[in-house]
Amino acid sequence: MKKVLILGGTRFFGKRLVEQLISEQVDITIVTRGYTSDSFGSSVKRLQVDRTDPIALRNALGSSTFDLVYDNICFTPQEAEDAVELLAGRVGKYIVTSSLSVYPFGEPRKKESDVDSYRYPLPVSYPPKEDYAEGKRLVEAVLFQKAPFKVAAVRFPIVLGLDDYTRRLHFHVEHIQQGLPLGIPNLTAPMSFIRSDEAASFLAWLGSSNLEGPVNACSQGEVSIGQIVSLISQATGRQANVFSETEEVHMSPFGIPESWYMDTTKAQAAGYSFQKLGDWLPELIREIVVSQTR
């Protein structure tokens, strides 16, 4: 039976990943701080520890080895360094959740080769806190340049779902329902998205594939924020009050200045077929509208 370790498996697509692997009868261990309850019962083993404490994590893991590690909560290069040191010789493949944020805004469609983590310069010492995008670039760079085991980094765009604890799509629905101002600097810039259940399915698939390196993963097609606003207006029957600038509290978390979307040729060539964005986004918006009006 395949042995899998999951760091970050009690919320959102991490939780859905665990549920899928349980259905596949995988031997699962999850690392959790114990702040979020789960419904996995005896189907998983739990290690209650903060992954940012490398000594505590080492003690919790003991001498355990794993066929596969999923790391959904690696945000800094130091955390990546600690993972390399801890797991050397103890894991077959390591999959880290990365982000579309590693790419700059603007055309053209982003390909994995646009950010070469194998050659991305690593600083002599890491600053105490990087911004999110640079943190993810350095996480990838550390893993690809230093890990003695196989590594894949999944570059996800913004992940959406009814279960999204960040409530970024919910934010837009609430603002339009309540007639609040909505700040969007560029209504026509196209973006990539993926739904939480597909993000989990892709991670599960990647764990059984031979694919390594950076991998873009998003639904087929893209959508502009203006189109999202129109879908919400249709679902709510309310017009949006859109401004290019407004108070920070009302600025869209999707408010990108230029296009920001990805090419998934690498994953598709390896055999994965992504859902079409247009097949699920309107339905998700309707589900959120209904949930907000209960």
Q: pLDDT (tens digit, 9 = 90+) per residue, 23-36?
A: 999 999 999 887 77
Distance of CA 99 to the CA centre of its chain: 6
Buried-state track 93-117, b at ≥16 Cβ within 10 A, e below 16: bbbbbbbbbbbeeeeebbebeebeb
CATH of range 3-158+194-216; options 3.40.50.720, 3.40.50.10900, 1.10.10.10, 3.40.50.1820: 3.40.50.720
Specify whether domain 159-192+220-260+277-293 bears CATH 3.90.25.10.
Answer: yes
- Please report, rounded to a whole number, the percentage of residues in the chain having pLDDT higher than 90: 90
What is the CB neighbour count within 10 angstroms for residue 238?
A: 16
127 pLDDT tier (thresholds 50, 70, 90): confident
Q: Which stretches of 113-241 are DSSP H helices?
A: 132-146, 168-178, 196-208, 225-236
Which pTM value belongs to this model? 0.95
16 pLDDT tier (thresholds 50, 70, 90): very high
How do residues 140-154 score in pLDDT, each as one tens digit?
Answer: 999 999 999 999 999
Q: What is the pLDDT of the chain when averaged over all its residues? A: 95
Mean pLDDT over residues 177-193, rounded?
97
Mean pLDDT over residues 229-243, rounded?
97
The total number of residues shown for the chain amounts to 294
10 pLDDT tier (thresholds 50, 70, 90): confident
Q: What are the structural domain ranges in the chain? A: 3-158+194-216, 159-192+220-260+277-293
How do residues 105-124 score in pLDDT, each as one tens digit?
Answer: 999 999 999 999 999 999 98
Distance of CA 173 to the CA centre of its chain: 22
Mean pLDDT over residues 118-134, rounded?
90
Mean pLDDT over residues 198-216, rounded?
97
What is the pLDDT, as a whole number, of residue 33? 84
294 pLDDT tier (thresholds 50, 70, 90): low
How do residues 71-101 score in pLDDT, each as one tens digit?
Answer: 999 999 999 999 999 999 999 999 999 999 9
